[in-house]
Amino acid sequence: MSGADADERRQRAAGRGEHEAPPAPEPLPLPVVDSHTHLDLVSDAGGGDPAAQLAAAAAVGVDRVVQVGVDLPSSRWASQLAAEHPQVLATVGVHPNEAPRLGDGLDEALREVERLAAAPRVRGVGETGLDTFRTGPEGAAAQEASFRGHIAIAKRFGKALIIHDREAHAEVLRVLDDEGAPDRVVMHCFSGDAEFADECLRRGFVLSFAGTVTFRNARSLREAARRCPPDRLLVETDAPYLTPHPYRGRRNGPYLIPVTVRGLAEARGVELAPLCRAISDTGEWVFGGWGGA
């Protein structure tokens, strides 16, 4: 996620008009998954209802998405959406910048996350993690307590852990090493350099690259992407944010995944179709099949 709190995220999303939507890209040769999106916020930004967004994505080869929860309302919404649409799976969690705002209610919120995580089409816990960009030292303890709670829930249910890490690389690894990471960990919107990528890959984590990898000033991200084995690579939109170049600053949506995938193929020096197949296979390994409950 962008790192803003829930109200700010929705206000920012609502400020993006329909005229800002980039055109549909050329379809991919093989289908892929958008491993991290927020269809609720895309709708708030004028991007149409979830069914329309899913249809637009499928038309260009993005046939599966993961709808990510960032607070209790969005987590409940994600779980319900996944129950209604076979091409959607859900994650549930409390964003690290939400955790300090909950105060004494954090434990209760984690209990609700645990309840929601039991649903069969909820396949991930988070986004959770640490963020020192938006939240100062006064919120560090609550962020870490929430992060540790999410790790325990993911391990209890055998589901993927979705990590938000903003300017907290060493601290995130410290907590994961201390608690013991789940079998499947996704570094959402990977933002580190090649050395940090190596540390994550050595631990068996999956790196998910957003539209930021296509930005002209993102050389370190592209180097990290080149080091990532195909079976540890995902792509995401984090829509409606992080729209890939050349549409940076406009509203994002799952239908724009092909732009990022093509950018990754160019950065890695590989053919497009095998990369699509690898991304799809990694998504199925991390989240399980989309077809059944």
Residues annotated in a binding site for a divalent metal cation:
36, 38, 127, 164, 188, 238
The CA distance from 39 to 209, in Å, is 18
The CA distance from 270 to 32, in Å, is 16
Tokens linked to 127: 């986004």
Measured on CA atoms in the order 124, 129, 133, 135, is the torsion positive or negative? positive
Residue 185 DSSP SS3 = strand
The CA distance from 36 to 189, in Å, is 9
Contact 196, 187 (CB under 8 A): no
Going from the C-alpha of 51 to that of each of 15, 47, 60, 213, the distances in angstroms are: 21, 11, 15, 28
Query: Which residues line the annotated binding site?
Result: 36, 38, 127, 164, 188, 238
Tokens linked to 150: 């999410």
Going from the C-alpha of 137 to that of each of 1, 98, 130, 142, 151, the distances in angstroms are: 20, 14, 11, 10, 21
The beta strand positions in 175-216, using DSSP E, are 185-187, 206-209
The CA distance from 69 to 115, in Å, is 14
Nearest to 164 by CA among 45, 36, 72, 284: 36
